[in-house]
Structure 1
């Protein structure tokens, strides 16, 4: 069981984030800026920045592009977003999941965990928040 808002960690970077658990969204999403696609050895890669945490430290990352998705924003508006693999520590376990890179600056939470992530991981309690443990230690899964 998890609340509709939870702490998660990006374990490779020791970054704590607040995530909204959204069963209405298929794919997970993370707040990313300075998103630039390049090609390396015939493969698409994307460089991006995860904006600063409470200490102001930004993360500058480069990852292979898994795919691109069109996300509907409004009646006639779509965003083309890159999808990458990331490790997320959630409720004491590390999971590898796909996240799309999005401008979430206008939203309350820098990360959104969608159905693809949640389906085998948690039931979401719509009336509770922060009931899981974001600390993983050496745990691994997914």
Structure 2
């Protein structure tokens, strides 16, 4: 019992004394520093040169984007979804088709759930391009057309709840996937 206790304290001391050794492998592989970001930030969809305002929400697991006209089809034995990202300040809508990665049940209220399609999208955040999973949702009643959840934020950003718009969404030719 004494050896187990000594081992526990030695392990705890090592983890606290040398935090770089406890950094997740995914952050090390990407070679990207975790940044402090505001709870609302600008992001871009680089493939379409579209600037969006995103809420960074550590309470949500999955990221979400405002999508309308969501229709599932089948192509070569795989599920695909076509959808529209409503217009920006210029009024231009994006009409997209993407393979369905999976479906998720999102809890909306005490007894209400939404079944949403999840697709892979590239998002430019703080000068880096990330491939991430987003679910397609009717966000027309919400303030922000995009929400970045924990799966995206992990190893990418710490959210400062008292600040907004402190990162730069411009990626240029940067790529980090």
Q: CA deviation at 1:16?
A: 0.1
Deviations 1:16-43, CA, capped at 9 Å, x for gaps: 0000000000000000000000000000
Report SS of the residue matched to 1:107: coil
Higher strand share: 1
Q: Deviations over 1:101-139 (max 9, x none)?
A: 000000000000000000110011000000000000000
Q: Secondary structure at the match of 1:116?
A: helix
Runs (4 or more) in structure 1 with deviation over 3 Å come to none
RMSD across aligned C-alpha pairs, in angstroms? 0.4
Gaps in structure 2 of 5+ consecutive residues: 1-35
Structure 1: tracts of 5 or more residues without a match: none
- Superposed, which structure 2 residues align to 1:1-142 within 5 Å? 1-142=36-177
Residue 123 of structure 1: SS of its match in structure 2? Answer: strand
Return the TM-score normalized by structure 2: 0.80
| SS of the residue 2:157 aligns to | coil
Displacement of 1:75 in angstroms is 1.0
Q: Is the radius of gyration larger for structure 1 or structure 2? A: 2
What is the TM-score normalised by the length of structure 1? Answer: 0.99
CA deviations over 1:28-85 (Å, ceiling 9, x no partner): 0000000000000000000000000000000000000000000011111110000000
